[in-house]
């Protein structure tokens, strides 16, 4: 991986034929043209959990259309860091009830999550759409 400076507060990472582009918000002195690095970190957690859910569904022949994940962050003001992360797997009404707890376990195995500090609590739940 190579990290390059691309003008003002833009910092890009190049690897495996891809370029991940980051910037800072205008408020932080950047141009706001790309996501901030910390936002990409959070997105990597959510998308990692998402791919584990997708694999879970694919292995069981469950159609993943209609499933989505949301992620909420709670900050710890004393440490000025993330305190908790809640990932909700929104499942459609026809999602097999017998797999609800198993899909939570699957999403929880996400490699990004496993690399977080132990004091950052990540909770994964399901919420059935009506």
Range of the domain at 87: 45-128
- 54, 106: one domain: yes
Confirm whether pTM is higher than 0.85.
yes
pLDDT of residue 130: 75
- 67, 22: one domain: no
- Which residues does the chain have with pLDDT short of 70? none
pLDDT of residue 108: 94
Report the distance separating Cα 125 and Cα 88, nearest Å.
Answer: 5
- 50, 112: one domain: yes
pLDDT of residue 102: 97
pLDDT of residue 70: 97
Domain count, the chain: 2
Domain presence at residue 40: no
21 touches 7 (CB < 8 A): no
pLDDT of residue 77: 93
């Amino acid at each position: 991986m190579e990290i390059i400076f691309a003008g003002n507060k833009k910092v890009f990472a190049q690897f495996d034929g891809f370029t991940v582009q980051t910037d800072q918000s205008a408020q932080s002195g950047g141009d706001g043209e790309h996501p901030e690095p910390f936002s990409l970190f959070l997105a990597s957690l959510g998308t990692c959990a998402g791919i584990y859910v997708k694999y879970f569904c694919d292995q069981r022949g469950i159609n993943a259309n209609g499933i989505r994940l949301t992620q909420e962050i709670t900050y710890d003001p004393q440490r000025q860091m993330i305190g908790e992360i809640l990932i909700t797997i929104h499942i459609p009404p026809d999602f097999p009830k017998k797999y609800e707890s198993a899909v939570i376990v699957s999403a929880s195995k996400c490699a990004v999550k496993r690399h977080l500090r132990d004091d950052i609590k990540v909770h994964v739940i399901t919420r059935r759409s009506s």
